Amino acid sequence: MLIEVLWHKNVVSREGKENIKKIPEVMLNRIEKILILAILEGCDAIVLGAYGCGVFGNNPHSVAGYFNTG
């Protein structure tokens, strides 16, 4: 079993209204990069973190929707 860990900074909605407007674009960009990297590395499974849905205050339904686009 091979495990790789990819770290990225979460988009934080609790930091102010100016950041809330940026969340969809930034999240979609980060999700795309992680999925492309997983494909290029031949991963057959991905374990994802909370993508900011815990203490950072992102809406879980919104984050799930970012993964479900396309």
Question: Does 40 map to a domain?
Answer: yes
Question: Does 8 map to a domain?
Answer: no
Q: How does DSSP classify residue 11?
A: P
Number of domains in the chain: 1
Question: Does 10 map to a domain?
Answer: no
pLDDT digits 0-9 by tens, 2-53: 555 655 566 655 556 667 788 888 889 888 988 898 899 888 888 888 888 8
Which residue carries 């991963």 as its tokens? 43
pLDDT of residue 6: 59
pLDDT of residue 65: 92
Q: How far apart are CA 54 and CA 5, in angstroms?
A: 19
Question: Does 4 map to a domain?
Answer: no
pTM above 0.85, yes or no: no
Host domain of residue 53: 15-67
Q: How far apart are CA 54 and CA 59, in angstroms?
A: 9
Q: How far apart are CA 44 and CA 32, in angstroms?
A: 16
Question: Does 9 map to a domain?
Answer: no
Question: Does 46 map to a domain?
Answer: yes
Question: For the purposes of burial, counting CB atoms within 10 Å of the CB of 20, is it exposed (0-12), middle (13-18) or buried (19 or more)?
Answer: middle
Question: Does 53 map to a domain?
Answer: yes
